[in-house]
Structure 1
Amino acid sequence: MKAAICTAYGPPEVLKLMTVAQPEPKEFDLLIRVYASAVQSGDRRIRALDVPPAGRLPMRIALGFKAPRKPVLGVVVAGEVAAVGSRVQHFKVGDRVYGLTGMRLGGYAEYACIHAHKCIHLMPLNASFNEAASLPFGGTTALHFLRKAQIEQANSVLIYGASGAVGSAAVQIAKYYNTHVTAVCSDRHAAMVRDFGADEVIDYHMDDYDNQLSTYDAVFDASGKINKLSARKHVERNGQFCSVAGQGVAKELREDLTLLNQMFEAGHFKAVIDRVYPLEEIVEAHRYVDSGRKYGNVIVQVVEE
Structure 2
Amino acid sequence: MESTENPNGGCSAEDVGYAKLAHQMVKTPEAGIFRKFKLLHVLNALRLQAELVSLEHELQDVLQEDLESDDPIRREYGTCFSRMREYVDDGDSTQYELLEDIRVKLVQYNEALSQLMTLGKATAPLDHDLDFLQKWLDRPEMGAGFLKGIESKTWKDANRGDFLTIQPPSAEIDGFQRFLNGTLTATYHAIIGRHGKDGKRDKYRKYQEEKIARIGRGIVAALSAILPTVVILALYFVKDMIHRIGLVIVFTTLFAVTLALFTGAKKVEIFSATAAFAAVEVVYIGSTSTA
* Structure-2-length-normalised TM-score: 0.27
- The structure where helix makes up a greater share of residues is 2
Structure exhibiting the larger radius of gyration computed from Cα positions: 2
* Structure-1-length-normalised TM-score: 0.27
Structure possessing the higher relative contact order (Cα contacts under 8 Å, 6 or more residues apart): 1
